[in-house]
Amino acid sequence: MSYFRDQFEKGMKSHLIPILFVAVTSVLISSCKKSDDYLPVPYACNCGSMNWRSSVFQLLDANYILADSTVQLSRRYYITADVQKEGEELTHTISMDLEVPDVGDGIFYIDGTTIEFSATIQERNDNLMIRPYRLYRPTEGVIQVSPAFLGGSEPVSFNLVLKEVDDSGNLVGFEFPFSGSFKVRVGIF
């Protein structure tokens, strides 16, 4: 009887390995599943838009800090948008720093003699081999702020005329319009 038991155990061992191999392989194959290709969803703050070179773009971000920590109504706004057009594969963004000494007045102008705010616009276009970074400043324009004196949403609109700034700090090239609007959330101080 021990002969038959030994033969049975040998037979089970010799058949057990292929059976386990087939079972493990089946589990591995059936558990693998190809997922859809990853498509990134662009971040959208739903905080405004800008008109750049005759096209409207939604902002990716709009925020602010106090431009002067001793003046509660001073603002330095920062906005940015992706302005990548069809055919451009690399980064193409516009960012603007906008500083207002005191938003309590509501409307601010800049022209040949009046400077009531400062603004700097940066363009980054990695699709260009020559001068992928450009800097612009307004030669004239208006900014309107509805101050959030008690906190909450603070809408800002701007309508500027820009010129490019060269490496020496001089305004060069042709003027072109730049406009838009955005909202920031102001906390109570």
Per-residue pLDDT reduced to its tens digit, 46-104: 999 999 999 999 999 999 999 998 999 999 999 999 999 889 999 999 999 999 999 99
Give the model's confidence band at 112: pLDDT under 50 very low, under 70 low, under 90 confident, else very high: confident
Q: What is the pLDDT of residue 176?
A: 97
Q: What is the pLDDT of residue 45?
A: 85
The token pair that represents 108 in the structure block: 């601010």
The answer to whether residue 13 scores a pLDDT higher than 90 is no
Mean pLDDT, rounded, for 165-184? 96
Nearest to 93 by CA among 102, 84, 101: 84
Hey, how many other C-beta atoms are within 10 angstroms of the C-beta on 104?
13
Give the model's confidence band at 39: pLDDT under 50 very low, under 70 low, under 90 confident, else very high: low
Give the model's confidence band at 126: pLDDT under 50 very low, under 70 low, under 90 confident, else very high: very high
Q: What is the pLDDT of residue 137?
A: 97
As a whole number of angstroms, the distance between CA 86 and CA 82 comes to 12
> Percentage of the chain surpassing pLDDT 90?
68
Cβ-contact 171, 136 below 8 angstroms: no
Answer yes or no: pTM beyond 0.85: no
